[in-house]
Amino acid sequence: MGKGFRINQSRGIKYLELLLPKKGICRGYFSTREGGISTNPYGSLNLGFHVGDDGDRVLTNRELFLRSVGVPPEMVVVPEQVHGSNIVNVCKTHGGKGVFQMNDAVRGADALITKEPGVVLAALYADCVPIYIVDLENKGIGLAHAGWRGTIQNIAGKMLNKMEVDFGTVGDDCIAYIGPSIGFCCYEVGSDTAQDFVSLFPYDDNIYKEKTKGKYYVNLKEANAKILVDSGIDSRRIFVCDLCTSCSEELFFSYRRDGGKTGRMAALLGLQ
């Protein structure tokens, strides 16, 4: 799974927890599909309002997950997620946005940062890459949602840069975590998308490889890890979960594997 994560279970809810080097600064989680009340194709802990599931069930699932990790819903902030690279600095006045309904989520954002204790950043996933950044010295945090579009738009690097501007963050003071997402084994793209990665990462067969003529595999986790290194975070302080959302059907929803009709997991990152 990678040294930075472990699987926990509380109140019947199974989730991944970030293993942080210092206690008391922050806490981070990633949900699985287990422990909720939704029925297939959203079975069972679907946390996404926008996928076609019953809204009351989604709300109950969110309450179950947040209760299992001890997070008050009114302190959670959820971005709209438009597959872009916009980052918003949020505070306690944003608490509860996007939690109880979609309409008041933080508009146009795919990443959130904060320096306020108690605020919990959140985002939803079903193959895209969760990127957590923790500034251990300035006590600032960031959470990004990176699909292929966000990756080639450098959302991870832009999030670190905004933390530098807003918080005085320095890459050497940070640790980063890349959570469960679709793996190199399963993420197939066409030649146009692959070319975007070839342009960004020339001659890097750890990030892309040809499957057949016109079809390629792309490693979104490795691409984002390299972006973080290039942005100033030591590679030894970047922890990558090796679980593939597409392969691990018993644990995760997967947009690709499930043909687009599926639930969503959530990442959480909050300052204590």
What CATH number is given to the structural domain containing 18? Answer: 3.60.140.10
pLDDT greater than 90 at residue 24: no
- Find, among 39, 40, 31, the residue nearest to 11 by Cα: 31
Under the banding of pLDDT at 50, 70 and 90, the label for residue 187 is: very high
Does residue 206 lie in a domain region? no
Q: Which pLDDT tens digit goes with each residue over 246-260?
A: 999 999 999 999 999
pLDDT of residue 3: 80
How much of the chain, in percent, has pLDDT values that exceed 90? Answer: 95
CA geometry: angle 198, 208, 232, nearest 5 deg: 70
Whats the size of the chain, residue-wise? 272
What is the average pLDDT across 26-44? 97
pLDDT of residue 188: 96
What is the average pLDDT across 156-180? 98
What is the average pLDDT across 224-235? 97
pLDDT greater than 70 at residue 183: yes
- Average model confidence (pLDDT) across the chain: 96
What is the average pLDDT across 145-149? 97
pLDDT greater than 90 at residue 142: yes
Find the domain containing 21 and state its range. Answer: 5-182+238-271
Question: Dihedrals φ, ψ of 175, to 5°?
Answer: -120, 155
Q: Which pLDDT tens digit goes with each residue over 46-102?
A: 999 999 999 999 999 999 999 999 999 999 999 999 999 999 999 999 999 999 999
With 0-12 / 13-18 / 19 or more C-beta atoms within 10 angstroms meaning exposed / middle / buried, residue 100 is middle
Does residue 48 lie in a domain region? yes
pLDDT greater than 90 at residue 23: no
Q: 26 in helix, strand or coil? A: strand
Does residue 212 lie in a domain region? no
With 0-12 / 13-18 / 19 or more C-beta atoms within 10 angstroms meaning exposed / middle / buried, residue 259 is exposed
Does residue 208 lie in a domain region? no
Q: Which pLDDT tens digit goes with each residue over 67-81?
A: 999 999 999 999 999
Does residue 261 lie in a domain region? yes
Residue located via tokens 């709209």: 80
pLDDT of residue 260: 95
Looking at the structure of the chain, the number of domains it has is 1
Under the banding of pLDDT at 50, 70 and 90, the label for residue 1 is: low
pLDDT greater than 80 at residue 2: no
